[in-house]
Chains A and B, each alone.
Chain A
Amino acid sequence: MIRRLLQAIVVMLVVAFVAFSLFQYVGDPVQLMMGQFATPADRIRLTHELGLDQPFYVQFFHFVVNALHGQFGVSLRIGKPVSVLLAQRLPATLELSICAALLALAVGIPAGVYAGLRPNSWLARTAMSASLVGVSLPTFLIGILLILVFAVKLGWLPAFGRGDVVHLGGWSTGLLTRTGLESLIMPTITLGLFQLTLIMRLVRSEMLEVLRADYIKFARARGLSDRAVNFGHALRNTLVPVITITGLQLGSIIAFSIITEQVFQWPGMGLLFVQAVSYADIPVMAAYLCLIALVFVVINLIVDLLYFVVDPRLRVDRPGAAGH
């Protein structure tokens, strides 16, 4: 566990370094901020104010220390601290991602289990064929098609934005208002569909594999009920690999929300990032990069911990337990 933590720290440092390197190589923020009519004196003053005249390693050191305090500097485009900007945008992205992940799990796992238990039923076959669409259609296309049908043609759902939000402390939520919920539906489907089909196909193939295992045959020979065999034994064994993939997929849901947020003009971190890229707003980009890396690292750690809960083979034997 300690080794895992150390690895995580190394990963974060590498990402931080990459993020930091962006400052050195991408565009000239001073040029962008001042416009073409700035005087050289103004330029020097701003360069100094932004700390861009210091040596490379000093800048990196400051960067890491500040990052640890949640400080990623001031947005070059908006002029507000990046941490404030991200904090404003974080709830929107998290709500969207979590809803999409819940959708993917809540539909993907039961559908996969069903398709695994009844691989020859027409429903399972239909779902499997349909899932190919989910796997192969690009996210933005699904989003645009949904907007076309449900917002433009039918007018049932809003085409963009987050609807009305309610502020609870520092957290803005769209889950408590009608328009907020309505606005959430299409982005959630768009973002969750790919993961849903992936999880479903994964659960199905794992389930088919596990159902062939000797211990399932033996469980049946012991006269256990179908329920106990399918859910108590088969599903639980299926979940070991599914947890890995699902965990990693949750990370990519947050990362991939960039595209969905762009399509639906969802005011989350992804949209902030896309806008930051077009302005070479490097503090925002760097902060976003570090945040996503952090999300992945944390999810990986959680996945590792879940393994220990699910699979007894990974638990260290208690003293005296082994060696009989």
Chain B
Amino acid sequence: MTKPLLEVRDLRVEFPTRRGTLTAVDGVSFAIAPGEVLGVVGESGAGKSLTGAAIIGLLEPPGRIAAGEILLDGVRIDNLPHDAMRRIRGRRIGAIFQDPLTSLDPLYSVGRQIIETIRTHLDLGDAAARRRAIELLGEVGIPAAGQRIDHYPHQFSGGMRQRVVIALAICAQPQLVIADEPTTALDVSIQAQIIALLRRLGRDHGTAVMLVTHDMGVIAETADRVAVMYAGRIVEIGPVAGVIRAPKHPYTAGLMGSIPSVVDDRERLVQIDGTMPRLTAIPPGCAFHPRCPHVFDRCRRERPELLDAGATRAACWLHAPGAREPSLGSRSTKVGS
């Protein structure tokens, strides 16, 4: 891999509460290369959105980064002063949120919001910023951008608004865009368009994308690499083809088994028994062991770190040197009960 654009090392996000400290993200490490699309997948509460929020420095208090480092282009950004971090947001790291219906200020025209963002980050006059805003709206696929620029958010449909949000995220040509569930709130037909748009923009501008989602299908279509999160930790990370075709962690295998496929002729989808533990009750050892079909003694005692497992890296004792060779399910074999 080339020199990473973003590097996250041992990130730990904590929420102090009255009944003790909750660790929502625990020892997460990964890197994103320039122009790369990293998918981050997991159930709600797995810590994937919080990881994104921590990177752009927008954790909601009382949440805080308790340990670890975040580096952008080799420079630490997790301990920057407020104003320096603000200049990175939007300029070098763009963000896209889940709900396009509520992401835009209802009282300003979309053009004004784009121009405002452009002028915050780039040294452009009002007229130049407006021309650029119209270009951007055209680029994200809004027809008649020259007229639409003066319209208000409520005059756009959900899919169109998400396009505006994307235009806002890329308007200062950031090196990285963090897209937090960008398609979850949209119609399935529009989801595909938005994903295609994100992919095209990433390619055209060389923008790296961290795509946070719980939708494996979106990841499979878009990402170069994928990180699977479970209970605040990355359990598997690797090239998307490897993770999807030959998952090495039982949890990933379970996720893959739960995706409907038009190719395979299966009667029932597989589901993983049980639910993800709450942050207050993460089991000792491997957090997944109570639900794991391959559980053995060591899983209950020790927590596995990420271990090399063929093309990917998985946090599972099955891949420890000397362990019995695992035979996990993939898309075509059955997993679990």
Cβ contacts under 8 Å, B169 to chain A: 221-222
Shortest C-beta distance, B107 to chain A (Å), equals: 5
Find out whether the CB atom of B143 lies under 8 angstroms from the CB atom of A225. Answer: no
A69 within 8 A of B: no
The 3 closest A-B pairs by CB, nearest first: A223-B90, A221-B95, A214-B102
Find out whether the CB atom of A218 lies under 8 angstroms from the CB atom of B104. Answer: yes
**Also in contact, A313 and B102, with CB within 8 A (given A220-B89, A221-B90):** no
A77 within 8 A of B: no
Interface residues of B (CB under 8 A from A): 56, 58, 86-91, 94-95, 97, 99, 102-109, 116-117, 120-121, 143-144, 148, 151-152, 154-157, 160, 165, 168-169, 172
Offer 18 A-B interface pairs, CB within 8 angstroms, sorted by A. A215-B102, A217-B97, A218-B97, A219-B105, A220-B86, A221-B56, A222-B95, A223-B88, A223-B89, A223-B121, A224-B116, A224-B120, A228-B116, A233-B107, A236-B107, A312-B107, A313-B106, A324-B160
Cβ contacts under 8 Å, B143 to chain A: 324
Find out whether the CB atom of B152 lies under 8 angstroms from the CB atom of A312. Answer: yes
**Also in contact, A312 and B154, with CB within 8 A (given A222-B117, A223-B90):** yes
Find out whether the CB atom of A215 lies under 8 angstroms from the CB atom of B156. Answer: no
Cβ contacts under 8 Å, B116 to chain A: 224, 228, 232
Find out whether the CB atom of B160 lies under 8 angstroms from the CB atom of A218. Answer: no
Q: Which of A236, A240, A324 has the most CB of B within 10 A?
A: A324
Cβ contacts under 8 Å, A218 to chain B: 95, 97, 103-104, 165, 168
**Also in contact, A215 and B121, with CB within 8 A (given A220-B58, A312-B154, A321-B155):** no
Cα-based distance from A237 to B105 in the complex (angstroms)? 8
Cβ contacts under 8 Å, B56 to chain A: 221
Cα-based distance from A215 to B104 in the complex (angstroms)? 5
**Also in contact, A222 and B104, with CB within 8 A (given A217-B58, A313-B152, A317-B155):** no
Nearest A residue to B104, CB-CB: A215
Residues of A within 8 Å of B, CB-based: how many? Answer: 27
Cα-based distance from A214 to B100 in the complex (angstroms)? 9
A2 within 8 A of B: no
Cβ contacts under 8 Å, B172 to chain A: 223
Query: Contacts A218-B97, A228-B120, A237-B105 given; 16 further ones with Cβ under 8 A?
Result: A214-B102, A214-B103, A215-B104, A215-B106, A220-B86, A221-B94, A221-B169, A222-B169, A223-B86, A223-B117, A223-B172, A233-B107, A312-B106, A312-B152, A322-B155, A324-B148
Cβ contacts under 8 Å, A154 to chain B: none
Cα-based distance from A177 to B95 in the complex (angstroms)? 59
Cβ contacts under 8 Å, B109 to chain A: 312
Cα-based distance from A213 to B169 in the complex (angstroms)? 18
Nearest B residue to A239, CB-CB: B107
A28 within 8 A of B: no
Find out whether the CB atom of B95 lies under 8 angstroms from the CB atom of A324. Answer: no
Find out whether the CB atom of B152 lies under 8 angstroms from the CB atom of A215. Answer: no
Cβ contacts under 8 Å, A222 to chain B: 89-90, 95, 117, 120, 168-169
Cβ contacts under 8 Å, A225 to chain B: 86, 120
Among B86, B90, B106, contact of A237 (Cβ-Cβ < 8 Å): B106
Name the prevailing secondary structure of the A interface residues.
Answer: helix
A 64-89 binary contact with B (CB < 8 Å = 1; else 0): 00000000000000000000000000
A123 within 8 A of B: no
Cβ contacts under 8 Å, B108 to chain A: 233, 312
A311 within 8 A of B: yes
A305 within 8 A of B: no
A310 within 8 A of B: yes
Cα-based distance from A45 to B121 in the complex (angstroms)? 84
A 221-250 binary contact with B (CB < 8 Å = 1; else 0): 111111010001100110010000000000
Nearest A residue to B90, CB-CB: A223
Cβ contacts under 8 Å, A310 to chain B: 107
Find out whether the CB atom of A223 lies under 8 angstroms from the CB atom of B102. Answer: no
Cα-based distance from A240 to B102 in the complex (angstroms)? 17
Find out whether the CB atom of B155 lies under 8 angstroms from the CB atom of A221. Answer: no
Find out whether the CB atom of B154 lies under 8 angstroms from the CB atom of A313. Answer: yes
Nearest B residue to A219, CB-CB: B105
Within 8 A of B (CB), among A26-85: none
Cβ contacts under 8 Å, B148 to chain A: 324
**Also in contact, A321 and B151, with CB within 8 A (given A214-B102, A225-B86, A237-B107):** yes
Cα-based distance from A111 to B102 in the complex (angstroms)? 28
Q: Which of A213, A214, A215 has the most CB of B within 10 A?
A: A215
Find out whether the CB atom of A233 lies under 8 angstroms from the CB atom of B86. Answer: no
Nearest B residue to A320, CB-CB: B147
Within 8 A of B (CB), among A240-273: 240
Cα-based distance from A324 to B163 in the complex (angstroms)? 14
Cα-based distance from A172 to B290 in the complex (angstroms)? 84
Cβ contacts under 8 Å, A223 to chain B: 86-91, 117, 120-121, 172
Cα-based distance from A233 to B154 in the complex (angstroms)? 16
Find out whether the CB atom of A224 lies under 8 angstroms from the CB atom of B154. Answer: no
Nearest A residue to B150, CB-CB: A321
Shortest C-beta distance, A183 to chain B (Å), equals: 42
Cα-based distance from A223 to B99 in the complex (angstroms)? 19
Nearest A residue to B142, CB-CB: A324
Cα-based distance from A220 to B154 in the complex (angstroms)? 21
Cα-based distance from A242 to B105 in the complex (angstroms)? 18
A 295-324 binary contact with B (CB < 8 Å = 1; else 0): 000000000000000111100010001101
Cα-based distance from A233 to B88 in the complex (angstroms)? 20
Cα-based distance from A213 to B106 in the complex (angstroms)? 11
